Amino acid sequence: MTNLLKQAEERLEKMQAEINPRWYPRYHLAARAGWMNDPNGLVWFDGWYHAFYQHHPYSTKWGPMHWGHARSQDLVHWEHLPVALAPEGPEDKEGCFSGSAVVDGDTLALIYTGHKFHGPADTDDNLYQVQCLATSRDGIHFERQGMVIDTPPGLHHFRDPKVWREGNAWYMVVGARVDNTGQVRLYRSSDLRDWHDEGILAEAEPGMGYMWECPDFFTLHGKRVLMFSPQGMAAEGYEKRNLFQSGYLLGEWQPGEAFVHNGQFIEMDSGHDFYAPQSFLSPDGRRIVMGWLAMWESPMPEQQDGWAGMLSLPRELSLDDNNRLLMKPAAEVTALRGSYFPVPAHCLTNQRLLVTADADAVELCLEWDRIASPAEQFGIVMGNGLRIYVDNQSQRLVLERSGPDCALTGTRSIALAEGDSLSLRIFIDRSSVEVFVNDGEACLSSRIYPQPGQRDIMLFANSGTAALKEAGYWSLDR
Ligand code: FRU
């Protein structure tokens, strides 16, 4: 272990002892202490799922990026491992930025962005981002192999390599900014070291962003999905309300050919907090995604408590008959379930009904009969900080949070299709909520910061009646 890695461990041990747990997740992956952002290097290797992540072990603020590391047998119970990478080489002296992992025979290979300035760090003109390699046999200790792709001439923002194997070659997509246009660049290699420039895979049309972060390119039911996190898209009506988005383009691609897509960028999550998702394959072939459950420049009240940031639940992707991406909790999430508590009453008229008191780790399962629910608003309320409800006038499902900070107060919502039933799986953790709608049709993920005594969950129906076909909740165990 290098000196910097040792120092990080020592610091984390001290900071971990001082965490205030009031909002620290019960079942989402968060750093032991300090700052976390994007998931990195999600991979299954040697019998374990590995999750790395952007990490600053010395502070609750973003800083020189390290790669934090955890592993799991089931994607929901995580074991922390020593910090895997620290910014300590000439190629990554200002940070080990986001990247991915692949299994190459008996070796786990991390491919990440080395972030560095040549001269003062106050201008992008001095910024260089290069792609680097680190390898490991045991999946815990990594040997740095240095830079494998230099910054292309004229570029400065060039980061977040995602590598995959196809046929007998390795491919890599990298996000880039050319003037004010977001791009995804493509590379090919036979050995993860020598990379051949294959040109531009995709590029922003006007309005689609000045920088495309964290690209990921994979096959789903015969289609190709380009998932990425654009910076600089403007809000439109109810959509793209967060500072930055994450979403996808769908199309066709074969090695050596152009990526042909329909130009329609679709957001993956309609809540306040989901960014920089990365996908990986489970050993049984499912395409699973995890994202950062937070948003740049949004207040993070947990920083007072010694930590910041967490990852979303793992989500399985599929395509429906209309080629729309579905995203539902990975099957493994049910491993968190403890006891089930059915809700006895199935019809509410102008009333509130207590479901559970003081909830900090529950999965609520609700199936509403919309035809029998003419109430103006109906759904659930948690204390004074969260409501998730159907607004029958706008025909939308709304997530409304009221944070301790006004910047955390507001709504996100999705349009509801015609239909006589609405099924919701709602995962509440100490400072997050994830709402999965109709088995993956939509998802809303947001951070919440309940104050003491504000964790009672109630069903409600205002101005009329609402009817449930099924209702209950699972207590979730660690
Ligand atoms: C996305 C991102 C990446 C970058 C990393 C730095 O959230 O900005 O583009 O590699 O975070 O921490």
Pocket test for ligand 1, best of 214, 278, 293 (most atoms within 8 A of CB): 214
* % pLDDT > 90, the chain: 97
- pLDDT of 345 strictly over 80: no
Task: For residue range 37-80, list pLDDT tens digits in order.
Answer: 999 999 999 999 999 999 999 999 999 999 999 999 999 999 99
Distance 377 CA to ligand 1 centre (A): 39
Q: What pLDDT is attached to residue 344?
A: 84
pLDDT band at residue 478, thresholds of 50, 70 and 90? low
Distance 40 CA to ligand 1 centre (A): 10
Task: For residue range 97-106, list pLDDT tens digits in order.
Answer: 999 999 999 9
Pick the atom of ligand 1 nearest to 159's CA. 10
Task: For residue range 123-163, list pLDDT tens digits in order.
Answer: 999 999 999 999 999 999 999 999 999 999 999 999 999 99
Pick the atom of ligand 1 nearest to 160's CA. 10
Q: What pLDDT is attached to residue 198?
A: 98
> What lines the ligand 1 site, CB under 6 Å?
37-38, 54, 65, 97-98, 113, 159-160, 213-214, 275-276
| Atom 9 in ligand 1: residue holding the nearest Cα | 213
Distance 70 CA to ligand 1 centre (A): 19
Q: What pLDDT is attached to residue 100?
A: 98
| Atom 8 in ligand 1: residue holding the nearest Cα | 213
Q: What pLDDT is attached to residue 26?
A: 97
97 vs 114: CA distance, rounded Å: 6
Distance 115 CA to ligand 1 centre (A): 10
| Atom 6 in ligand 1: residue holding the nearest Cα | 97
- pLDDT of 361 strictly over 90: yes
Q: What pLDDT is attached to residue 420?
A: 81
pLDDT band at residue 366, thresholds of 50, 70 and 90? very high
- pLDDT of 477 strictly over 90: no
Q: What pLDDT is attached to residue 392?
A: 97
User: What mean pLDDT do residues 111-122 have?
Assistant: 96
pLDDT band at residue 421, thresholds of 50, 70 and 90? confident
Q: Is 38 a catalytic residue?
A: yes
- pLDDT of 96 strictly over 70: yes
User: What mean pLDDT do residues 343-366 have?
Assistant: 95
Pick the atom of ligand 1 nearest to 214's CA. 9
Of the residues 38, 269, 273, 391, which is catalytic? 38
Distance 101 CA to ligand 1 centre (A): 16
Q: What pLDDT is attached to residue 404?
A: 87
Task: For residue range 207-242, list pLDDT tens digits in order.
Answer: 999 999 999 999 999 999 999 999 999 999 999 999
Pick the atom of ligand 1 nearest to 213's CA. 9
Pocket test for ligand 1, best of 35, 36, 54, 312 (most atoms within 8 A of CB): 54
Distance 99 CA to ligand 1 centre (A): 9
Task: Give the chain's mean pLDDT.
Answer: 97
